[in-house]
Amino acid sequence: MSHRATGRRLRRSLPAVAGMAVVTLLTGALAPAAAHTTHHHGHHDHHPHHPRSSVTERVDELMSRMSLQDKLGQMVQITRGAASPSEVAELRIGSVLSGGGSAPSPNTPEAWADMYDRYQSAALDTPLGIPVLYGVDAVHGHNNVRGATIFPHNIGLGATRNPELVRRIGAATAEEVAATGVDWTFSPCLCVARDDRWGRTYESFGETPELASAMSSEITGYQGATLGGDPTSIMATAKHYVGDGGTTGGVDQGNTQLSEQELRRIHLAPFHEAIERGVGSVMVSYSSWNGDKLHEHEYLINDVLKGELGFDGIVLSDYNAIHQLDGDDSTLTASEVRRSVNAGLDMIMLSKDHEKFLNHLRREVESGRVPMQRINDATRRVLTKKFELRLFEHPYAQRDLLSTVGSAEHRELARQAVRESQVLLKNEGVLPLSSGTDNLFVAGSNADDIGNQSGGWTISWQGSSGDITEGTTILEGIREVSDSSVTYNRHGEGINDSYDAAIAVVGEKPYAEYQGDRPNGLELSQEDLSTIAKLRSSGVPVIVVLASGRPMDIASEVGNWDALLASWLPGTQGGGVADVLFGKYDPTGELPMTWMRSFEQQPINQGDGKDPLYPYGYGLSYRD
């Protein structure tokens, strides 16, 4: 990685970035289908190999042979743990998912491909032979699979301000996902995180709609210029529709209290871009808008998403989300089924009650309370994606791609993303470290822990500390890049003034969703604070590297630190952090979130008149 190459990369203002994203879209889209113009207003262009007319005709022809039960089955997405391949086939279920961490045993790419093929062959062995769609949360790489490349979480990708890099990450992830057969990722989250107390802040590209819109380039990475155009094409999901990042207090699955104008300006805008890019599915949010649950919101789904925005893909529920509509998560009522389906949900994600769902829905249709036209629309949307993805022609895992899982090429891409995501917030002349002369001391809870530096949605739903998958910890990266001796002790035991500098890698432990909500504070842990204090007592310069899923409340401490680098959640390629620390890469990252001066300021966002510690867009380089 030569400086010159990166030096030339101008720090683009977002509009230019967004413009570039559109350029990427147009050139990308025009290249393979030069003969046809491409309209991404919710309609797919005519591919040479299956012009739209053939997809429509094939859907019509297949639907003419489908019973009501066949159609209702296509509207169910069931977790693999709840239904075997034979039960999925028997109930004509249209889709299967692995929830976070739901992996075969052993958790290897080959075992994933075998599992996928078992579901697929059972589905094909039915009278109509309709293949299933298999979905996973590949949100920062194929993160449920051991050995897969784990990229930085979205908050770090937002700091790169580089949509083309994010598109490439989508494309690399699609290869690893397609290798295991999986056709669908529930990514990207286009949430605009407005309150750092929210447990899903790290799943957001940042606090502005412009950033989420620009990074929707990941959709083009996952899907290709058009869905199904390339063999590695997998279906992307724009989520969670709409306003998930704007809830009061940052409460996960909470209530977004905004005027319609503000909801549209802040939270709806990224979905426009996603639909322009031809995103194949949209996942509805658990949250509410002004007290009304999104999962039964006819106006926002039928009128706005499908009508005004012209979305013609699959509207998918979140996990058992319709169970919540009557206020009692433990039961699934006919009313909940009717209200969600009539509001425009096309496919319902369930880990239980799938037969109850089918029975409720069949009775609602037979009674006329759910129109047959609604069922036909939902079925048509699901089948259209299956034909566009060419599942009928190529239903099985693409095992020739298995060598891409965790490949050196993908890990190098991830390392570049780590480099570009680092945001230098303070530097009292101690960085960059020179690789030859420094006698370094490294400490901190996140220095040598691949699980901590990867965060939630890694191998398991919540993620976990420890050696959970293959990769390079930040400490290992420092040892690799540095030519000098590097001493490590998690708590700083043994530090003294013989060292040239001390690096404390601190921050958050893994979490996901509501388990990451922090309504009571975002300060560093006592363990981290005492480690930093111990390093400071030696008198050597202290560099703090903060591996966290969001800004933390450090204003009262940072004055004592000689440098501060926000690393976010870098994933498996910790070497990218060392590349910045040693000046192999001059930091170019810019804050995707306003950094609070105090916790009491939350929510704090660009332009709200509050005085931040560091503003949105802030970031130092070594030239500063």
Interface residues with ligand GLC (CB under 6 A)? 99-100, 137, 186, 239, 318-319, 513
| Cα–chain center distance at 111 | 24
CB of residue 100 to ligand GLC, shortest distance in Å: 5
- The least CB distance from residue 470 to ligand GLC, in Å, is 23
Q: Which is nearer to ligand GLC, 239 or 411 (CB)?
A: 239
**Residue from 70, 448, 449, 513 carrying the catalytic annotation:** 513
- CB of 281: closest distance to ligand GLC in angstroms? 11
Q: Please state at what angle helix 269-276 crosses helix 14-30, rounded to 10 degrees.
A: 20
Residue 236's identity, in one-letter code, is A
Residue 46 and residue 33 in contact, taking contact as beta carbons nearer than 8 Å? yes
Q: For residue 344, give Cα distances in angstroms to 8, 268, 310, 317, 399.
A: 47, 17, 13, 10, 36
The CA-based angle 138-81-514, given to 5 degrees, is 55
For residue 37, count CB atoms less than 10 angstroms from its CB and return exposed for 0-12, middle for 13-18, buried for 19 or more: exposed
Kindly name the residue from 183, 318, 346, 420 that is annotated as catalytic.
318
Residue 100 vs 463, nearer CB to ligand GLC: 100
> Do the Cβ atoms of 318 and 285 come closer than 8 Å?
yes
Q: Is 414 exposed, middle or buried (0-12, 13-18, 19+ CB in 10 A)?
A: buried
Residue number with CB closer to ligand GLC (315 or 564): 315
Provide DSSP, 591-614: -SSPBPSSGGG-S--TTSS---SB
One-letter identity of residue 346: D
Q: How far is the CB of 319 from ligand GLC (least distance, A)?
A: 4
Between 94 and 612, whose beta carbon lies closer to ligand GLC?
Answer: 94
517 annotated active-site = no
Look at the chain and count its residues: 624
Minimum CB separation from ligand GLC for residue 7, in Å?
Answer: 38
318 catalytic residue (yes or no):
yes
Considering the complex, state which of residue 83 and residue 402 has its C-beta at the smaller distance from ligand GLC: 83
Nearest approach, Cβ of 186 to ligand GLC (angstroms)? 3
The edge-to-edge listing of strands for the beta sheet with 288-289 is 255-256, 288-289, 292-293
Give, in order, the Cα–Cα distances in Å from 230 to each of 174, 318, 393: 10, 28, 13
316 vs 580 by CB, closer to ligand GLC = 316
Active-site positions?
Answer: 318, 513
